[in-house]
Chains A and B, each alone.
Chain A
Amino acid sequence: MALRELSSLEKYLGLKKPNKYSTQGDKKVPVLQNVNGPPLVGLVTVACHLVREAKRPELLGDCAESRAVVQQWLEYRVTKLDGCTREDVKTILKDLNLYLQDKVYMAGNRFTLADTFMFYGIHPLIVDLAVQEKEQYVNVTRWFDHIQHYPGIRHPLPPVVVLRNKIYSSKHH
């Protein structure tokens, strides 16, 4: 999964030569051998490295604050989203829904690496949601739909149908 995400990222970044990754441990943590120093270990570390290599530093945030926010959500992705239990899912979606209430992207008004990896991480959760649940987490759904239509991101994940018109008015229950 992590390797697939990294190769998607490489394509998105337009890196010509695909890297060769190995993995480490039971959790298959991606490892990238690095000519200039010790090997890079971990999804976030490798992804940030690729972004720098592609000279797209704005994807990591355009100021100290947004860089911190991007790192925070990348960490959230690998610690909270990965391996979350069924009970966690609701809390995660509820929290994200509240967070995204007044935001277009994870780190405010610009697309960043946080959107990419939160999208990959949350995709399996959204696929499982019923229509009503998607309506319940309307801000997450809106953000998700936006990112899956962002050029070069979704592939190869299947598109998720998101209904924009509410079938049920919330007045009736």
Chain B
Amino acid sequence: MKLFVSEGNPHCLKVLAALEVTGVHCDVQYVNHDERVVPFLSRPAVPALLLPSGLHLFSPNAICRYLFEVSGQDSSELCSRWLEWEATDLQPALLQSLHLAVLQGKGSEVSKVLQGPLNYMEQSLRKGNTPYLTGEAVSVADVVLWAALYPVLSDSSLALGECTSVKAWFDRGAVMHSCAAQKVLQGKGLQGMKSFMQRQPAPQSSQCRDAQPCNSNPAEGEESERVVSVEEMEAAALTWSKGLNGCPLAADRQHPILPQEGKRNLLVTSALPYVNNVPHLGNIIGCVLSADAFCRYGRLRGWNLLFVCGTDEYGTATENKAREEGLTPQQICDKYHAIHSNIYKWFQIDFDFFGRTTTEKQTEIAQNIFWRLHKHGFLLEDTVEQLRCENCKRFLADRFVEGVCPHCSYPEARGDQCDKCGRLINAVELREPQCKVCRQTPVVSSSKHLFLDLPKLEPQLEQWLDKSTSTGDWTANAKQITRSWLRDGLKPRCITRDLRWGTPVPHPDFKEKVFYVWFDAPIGYLSITANYTDQWEKWWKNPNQVEMYNFMAKDNVPFHSVVFPCSLLGAQDNYTLVNHLIATEYLNYEDTKFSKSRGVGVFGDMAKDTGIPPDVWRFYLLYVRPEGQDSAFSWADMALKNNSELLNNLGNFINRAGMFVTKFFEGSVPVMELQQEEKTLLALVGWELQQYIQLMDKVKIRDALRHILNISRHGNQYIQVNEPWKKIKGGDTERQRAGTVTGVSVNIACLLSVMLLPYMPAVSQTIRDQLNAPQSCINTMLQGTGTFVCCLSAGHRIGTVSPLFQKLEVDQIEALKKRFGGQQPEDEPPKKKTTAQSAGSTQPAAVPAAAAEVASVNGVDPEKAKQLTQAVNEQGEKVRALKAQKAEKAVITAEVAKLLELKKQLAVAEGKSSEPAPQKGKKK
């Protein structure tokens, strides 16, 4: 018998408590929230009990009942009644309460939700007049209900009213089971459940409309009408009437930006992209673009914020790449740093500074941290068995060795990891190792190295982590990955390498060695800031005044949450440590992975060749931002979102609003007389604005986007219902209505331009230019919880209005899809292809895709391909003509055979697999 539970899952409290009360012996295994323990359920269901018969119980109440029964305590009918009530009545209310308290920070609303169920219990307990729910002794009903209510009743901040009997009953249990609560909630109370709650679908009650599950597509939520109260309407109308008066103008950014007294000072970093490759869309959305959207938003909010990033340039991969391209590592870095810089410029990533790690400051700071760690005794010395190539006269870094995997016998395993079985490998364990450069067999030789003593730093780290994760906004995956690292126990980590391209280790016993990139690279954040300003320490040694945000993809989490903080903690120099760790999941490409080697996917430098504007790229990437779960980039979906959301919804609304002003009111905003309908609209828009701000404050960038689109939907509906183009032709009252509708609409357009700024900076500016909107509107609307004021008052003259977005046509998208579908792009330098070939020629047959690619590379001939394309087209015409004439079947068959042969040759010439493409869309 085995019980599966997960941390932070309140349902697990029940079963652990029942296990303790009954004393039944049972293995308990902790699993992740996402783990599918019960084979037949699609949604993960924990807790689950694996019965001796092999069946799984997945209902916590049924598990508790079972535990009680096998320990000899049958449950009474009264017990059943309580258990059924708990499942059908109490649980929905609890789910909603936890949602409010844990995810939305609205602990104050919990008492309202729970009042009914708690009163019911109170009355029953009073009437029964027994210490426990079903009598004088503890029953399964007590355990289940106590555990269910534990999270809310043990939290004094929720103020759950005067239920004296319930409290007395609850106190009888609390002492008994406090250790179960420790196991599940880890003493963190409600916050201990955050990551679990984030994975639960939102409760379906109408009171919880704003509690959308974080995974749903931003614009695809249910569109039920929100009921607006009279107070909300009046408040919205009052805000509106305040106008722009008295709002300070945004000050231009003055470099260097330094922390300021009395302001929210944010230091924002985005993971340093590795220099040896061109970033793909997944890299871009994972780090720089997400960070940029947040920073742009933060600046609008008036926060004092510094956004730094740069290329990570040291390490084996750079040396490899340099050898591949016949350049020096420095030349490679210069070349790729420029490529990165240009790509980010094109995507309008507004860094305050984009630096690099190969600088003197890097050496200075890294060596300083090293010496401090050394001084405080956090470095260990050890000898490491390493492979050395006598031919190349050097120790081989992991990536320079290849051999047979000791676990699965895959012949192409790398020195650090096997691509086939995925297991981590110690290079010396490889069978038949080969130097990747000269193909000689290396010998095992020992070399002295330094290790960072992570186990010694662990207590400090845990103390800091507890504080940082409970007070800051860490994404669920970041917390989870960090926790699993700590659970597995930390081991000393080697910080030196036998390489040349790196920051030199200053210690005399270790000259000729450099720092291992994982130690070196995060220090890049500091050195890049130091290259930006001499006063960098005001940011980096100022934890009391500065809040740090780190943006990254989830594979980078352990280095930012465990390893780098350990380096900084060990250095004991009052360093600023991360407060908010924002990690994305992965972005897939059309349901496969981005792969440079296979040419699959869109890479930063190619995005501009598509002819799609950077703002649309930004919009779509943020729209599919892998926030909370993996997502996929899809061309068809991009076209759809562009055409439906940008063109038909957002663009259409803004354009119509502006056009009405131009066409019906000679370009001057008409007088607006707010009626009930406008007030309702203002309240709705104001509500969406508030949601947007709440979400953006918590770095839910993708979820916030939905609220922008909701506003323009409200706007379109409003215009549609009021038909100003008809009313303008009517009498005075009608004309005045048309004026009001137009004026309110164009003001909403102005608000939208501000909310869009973090997502589409150029479009946002274009809208304000078209509306001739005052710059002060940018800062006004995002103050506090959001204030939608009338920015364009009656008489304001707008500029020239023109459409904002273009339709993406099906054939255009199909062409792009084909182009980026997975062949080597044609403009790839020919040299690259030969290396791909030589590396690929040893690929085993187990990798069919790669093998097919290698085979085809031999026959690639663009010139021939051109001729063949022509021939295929002509032959195709011929076949169609014959078919149209209803020619004899034998004749057609012969011509079709010719066509197929030509297509086959074409495929070879184009470097595709010569297998006929599978026929799509045809039903057999």
- Complex alpha-carbon distance, A147 and B549, angstroms: 59
Shortest Cβ distance from B79 into A: residue: A45
Contacts of A78 in B (CB 8 A): 84, 87-88
- Complex alpha-carbon distance, A72 and B85, angstroms: 14
CB <8 Å contact, B58 and A72:
yes
Contacts of A37 in B (CB 8 A): 77-78
- Identify A91's interface contact among B42, B83, B84, B128, CB under 8 A: B42
CB distance from A136 to the nearest CB of B (A): 14
A17 at the interface (CB under 8 A from B): no
- Identify B62's interface contact among A43, A49, A71, A85, CB under 8 A: A71
- Asked if A48 meets B87 with Cβ closer than 8 Å, knowing A68-B62, A91-B42, A95-B42, the reply is no
- Identify B80's interface contact among A44, A95, A98, A108, CB under 8 A: A44
B41 at the interface (CB under 8 A from A): yes
CB distance from B639 to the nearest CB of A (A): 26
- Complex alpha-carbon distance, A43 and B89, angstroms: 13
Contacts of B204 in A (CB 8 A): 85
Contacts of B923 in A (CB 8 A): 172-173
A58 at the interface (CB under 8 A from B): no
Contacts of B62 in A (CB 8 A): 68-69, 71-72, 75
Interface size class of A (residues with CB under 8 A): 35 or more
Instruction: Annotate B476-510 by CB proximity to A: 1 below 8 A, 0 otherwise.
Output: 00000000000000000000000000000000000
CB <8 Å contact, A172 and B80:
no
B884 at the interface (CB under 8 A from A): no
Q: For residues 50 through 65 of chain B, which have their beta carbon under 8 Å from a beta carbon of chain A?
A: 51-53, 55, 57-59, 61-63, 65
B608 at the interface (CB under 8 A from A): no
User: Which secondary structure dominates where chain A touches chain B?
Assistant: helix
CB <8 Å contact, A75 and B87:
yes
Shortest Cβ distance from A82 into B: residue: B88
Q: For residues 79 through 133 of chain B, which have their beta carbon under 8 Å from a beta carbon of chain A?
A: 80-81, 83-85, 87-88, 91, 128
A105 at the interface (CB under 8 A from B): no
CB <8 Å contact, A42 and B85:
yes
B729 at the interface (CB under 8 A from A): no
- Complex alpha-carbon distance, A40 and B41, angstroms: 31
Contacts of A27 in B (CB 8 A): 88
Shortest Cβ distance from A49 into B: residue: B77
A41 at the interface (CB under 8 A from B): yes
User: Which secondary structure dominates where chain B touches chain A?
Assistant: helix
CB <8 Å contact, A40 and B61:
no
A94 at the interface (CB under 8 A from B): yes
A76 at the interface (CB under 8 A from B): yes
CB distance from B253 to the nearest CB of A (A): 47
CB <8 Å contact, B57 and A68:
yes
CB distance from B95 to the nearest CB of A (A): 11
CB <8 Å contact, A65 and B43:
no
- Asked if A40 meets B87 with Cβ closer than 8 Å, knowing A65-B51, A69-B55, A75-B59, the reply is no
- Identify B66's interface contact among A41, A68, A172, CB under 8 A: A68
- Complex alpha-carbon distance, A67 and B74, angstroms: 11
CB distance from B18 to the nearest CB of A (A): 12
B326 at the interface (CB under 8 A from A): no
- Identify B55's interface contact among A42, A65, A172, CB under 8 A: A65
Max count, chain A CB within 10 A of own CB: residue among B43, B57, B66, B81:
B81
CB distance from A125 to the nearest CB of B (A): 16
A64 at the interface (CB under 8 A from B): yes
- Identify B84's interface contact among A67, A75, A173, CB under 8 A: A75
Q: For residues 153 through 173 of chain A, which have their beta carbon under 8 Å from a beta carbon of chain B?
A: 172-173
Q: For residues 1 through 51 of chain B, which have their beta carbon under 8 Å from a beta carbon of chain A?
A: 39-43, 51
CB <8 Å contact, A71 and B77:
no
CB <8 Å contact, A68 and B84:
no
- Asked if A72 meets B70 with Cβ closer than 8 Å, knowing A45-B77, A78-B84, A95-B42, the reply is no
CB distance from A140 to the nearest CB of B (A): 12
Contacts of A101 in B (CB 8 A): 40
- Complex alpha-carbon distance, A34 and B77, angstroms: 11
A150 at the interface (CB under 8 A from B): no
Contacts of B58 in A (CB 8 A): 72
CB <8 Å contact, A45 and B80:
yes
- Contacts A42-B88, A69-B55, A78-B87 aside, 20 further interface pairs with beta carbons under 8 A come to A34-B77, A41-B84, A42-B80, A48-B77, A49-B77, A64-B69, A65-B53, A67-B65, A67-B66, A68-B62, A68-B65, A72-B57, A75-B61, A75-B84, A79-B87, A85-B204, A96-B40, A98-B40, A108-B55, A172-B924
Q: Which 5 A-B pairs have the closest CB atoms?
A: A72-B62, A68-B66, A98-B40, A42-B84, A99-B40
- 30 inter-chain pairs at a CB distance below 8 angstroms, sorted by A residue, are A34-B77, A38-B81, A38-B128, A40-B77, A42-B80, A42-B84, A44-B80, A45-B81, A48-B77, A48-B80, A64-B66, A65-B51, A65-B52, A65-B55, A68-B62, A68-B63, A68-B65, A69-B55, A69-B57, A71-B62, A72-B59, A75-B61, A75-B87, A79-B88, A79-B91, A95-B41, A96-B40, A98-B40, A99-B40, A108-B55
Give the interface of A toward B (CB within 8 A).
27, 29, 34, 37-38, 40-45, 48-49, 64-65, 67-69, 71-72, 75-76, 78-79, 85, 91, 94-96, 98-99, 101, 108, 172-173
